[in-house]
Amino acid sequence: MTIWLIVGLALLTYASRALALVFLPKPSPPVEAMLRRVPGPLFAGFAAISLVTSSGAATPPATLAAVLAALLVARTRSLLIILSAGLAGYSAAEVIGALF
Amino acid sequence: MVLGATSPFAAAIGVFGMIYGAGASAVADPATIVLSSLVVFSGAVQFAAVGLLLTGAGPLAVLLTAAMLNSRNLLLGAALRSSLEEPRRKRAFLAWWLVDETAGLTLASPAPPGRTLLFSGAFCYAAWVIGTAFGVLGASLASLEELVAAVFPVLFVGLAAQSTRTRDAGLRVAAAAVVSLLLAFAVPEIRSVIPAIAAVAVAMPGEKG
């Protein structure tokens, strides 16, 4: 990894971050309404792809258990409760995996 | 409040920073590795770069991959744009802190978006750089990698839940999750841009009534 490659990666990455945030004018009302609907599905997508490895295989069962446990308490909308449930689900799956 | 919500993300990012710092030692010297985290600040791009370099790929392939990985930032930026009232110069500064996690926290938080992006970004950035430095110095938390990898989807479930207030929004969230999962299994090569594609696809249809 050379300095020039790092500079190239840094420029590309910053440009992608700044392009919409800096140069995009305030969107029109219909576009703004559409963009307001993006975050939830986007985060759900990030969560979903985390269950698949870069080679297309499923992640370990404990990760799936963590996500399922988090989904069970998702209606609370509390990040702390959801994280705690996820870790509990992960731990439970690890213990069960070790027992069998 | 922002720091509290950012803490689990920052902790996970710090651990991944360590793993990156240790793994990148095969393709760069310690100073270069830390420099990469200081000026790039993107786990996805930096991990991909190291992976490609290890397979013998050239700089052009690395840059093209980075461009593809970064394309989701356009959508994150567009989603954040309408909530930021700051002038252009300040938005240019705030753009530096835009990563998946900070965009999520900013969009889900009731706090002023500019401040949330800045504070959560600075926290995650510090965790990433410090984690990298520890990894370069030989610290190893590889045994925690699986646990930490499970934290990210759980936190994104939390952010999705916080962004979902209506039945219509819930249906869109569920649809995006299913579409993303299916696409990730079908075409894992483009998995980093799949959430953006799915999110736009399910957000396009207007709400009924």
Residues 62-81 of B with CB under 8 A from A: 62-63, 66-67, 70-71, 73-81
Same domain, A61 and A45: yes
Range of the structural domain that residue B124 is part of: 2-141
Give CA separation, B163 vs A36, A37, B13, in Å.
10, 9, 22
Chain A residues with CB inside 8 Å of B79's CB? 35, 38-39, 42
Domain presence at residue B66: yes
- Cα B90 to Cα B27: distance, rounded to the nearest angstrom: 36
Q: Do residue A10 and residue A46 come from a single domain?
A: no
**DSSP code at position A38:** S
Q: Which domain holds residue A4?
A: 1-37
Per CB-CB distance under 8 Å, the chain B contacts of A36 are 82
Q: Is the pLDDT of residue B54 over 60?
A: yes
pLDDT category at B202 given cuts 50, 70, 90 is very high
| pTM for this entry | 0.78
Q: What is the pLDDT of residue A1?
A: 84
Q: In this structure, are A18 and A46 located in the same domain?
A: no
Per-residue pLDDT at B142: 63
Q: What are the tens digits of pLDDT across the range B87-134? A: 999 999 999 999 988 988 888 888 899 999 999 999 999 999 999 999
Position B188 in a domain: no
Q: How many CB pairs under 8 A join A and B?
A: 292
What is the count of structural domains for chain A? 2
Q: Tell me if residue B204 falls in helix, strand or coil.
A: coil
Whether the CB-CB separation of B66 and B48 falls below 8 Å is answered with yes
B191 touches chain A (CB under 8 A): yes
Record the tokens describing residue B107, joined without a space: 């969009």
Looking at the structure of chain B, the number of domains it has is 1
Shortest CA distance to B165 belongs to which of A91, A77, A62? A77
Residues A68 and A25 in one domain: no
Q: Do A13 and B66 touch (CB under 8 A)?
A: yes
Give B209's pLDDT tier (boundaries 50, 70, 90). Answer: low
Q: Give the pLDDT confidence of A54-82 residue by residue, as tens digits.
A: 788 888 899 999 999 999 999 998 877 88
- Token pair for B129: 């750089």
Dmax (CA) for chain B in angstroms is 59
The answer to whether residue B200 is domain-embedded is no
| Buried/exposed B191-202: b ≥16 CB within 10 Å, e otherwise | bbbbbbbbbbeb
When CB atoms are compared, the residue of A1, A36, A71 closest to B49 is A1
ipTM > 0.90, yes or no: no
List the single range of A25-29, B58-62, B65-69 with lowest mean pLDDT.
A25-29
